[in-house]
Amino acid sequence: MILIALVADSISNARPPGNNRVAKVKNDLRAIVETLELYRLGHGEYPSATHGLRALVEKPVVVPELIYWEKLLDNIPKDSWQRSYLYLNPGMVDPVEVYSFGRDGKLGGCGDDADLYSSSFESVGSKSLKCKSHRLLDGIANWISKNRFLFVVTLIIIGVLINRAAQKAAKPAYSILYRIIGWTITGFGGYFLLLLLFGTKYYH
């Protein structure tokens, strides 16, 4: 029952994780890169790696002193996980790049943990088989969350069909196995149906 409750809870709460947070980071990256372009147009070059993004809000200390400097931002935004955006000059793809290491604050990762770069809005690692599988599972969970009743009915129907197949099984061992699988799937479907109809009191 604990396992069923956990699965039911994950389905009932399934949603695309962090979509708004990722969208916020992408919007920030676009805005910062546009501001960096304005800086380059006004100063002839991008802020150095040493001065970084602070050059957009504070006058860099350089020798000789900059004759012209204009404050382009009131403050540098934080990413969705309240960390500072990172800056590369030169960048790996574009002349300069701004990026976030995602939710985990570490290089690499999938989903909310994936790195987000201004040059591509994703890390190379996000194209790996592991991350593709992660996105597939997220997509399935999201579909289930939006089509809960259809999912439950489908489970029950599959369970019934497997039970019927058990009657036609050539060997008794197969018949028993099919019945176990069929009743298990039907049980899951029935339990989820109770959750949909009567709420969380059936967790206990």
Domain boundaries of the chain, sorted by first residue: 19-125, 147-203
CATH entry 3.40.50.300 includes domain 19-125: no
Through-space distance between the first and last CA atoms of the chain, rounded to whole angstroms:
8
Per-residue CA distances from 124 to 108, 161, 191 (Å): 8, 44, 41
Q: Residue 1 pLDDT more than 60?
A: no
Q: Which of 43-47, 63-67, 134-138, 200-204 has the lowest mean pLDDT?
A: 200-204
pLDDT band of 20, cuts 50, 70, 90: confident
User: CB 113: neighbour CB atoms within 10 A?
Assistant: 20
- pLDDT value, residue 199: 65
Query: What are the tokens at 9?
Result: 């809870």
- Does pTM top 0.75 for this prediction? no
pLDDT in tens, 33-83: 999 999 999 888 999 999 999 999 999 887 677 778 889 999 999 999 999
The span from the CA of 14 to the CA of 9, in Å, is 8
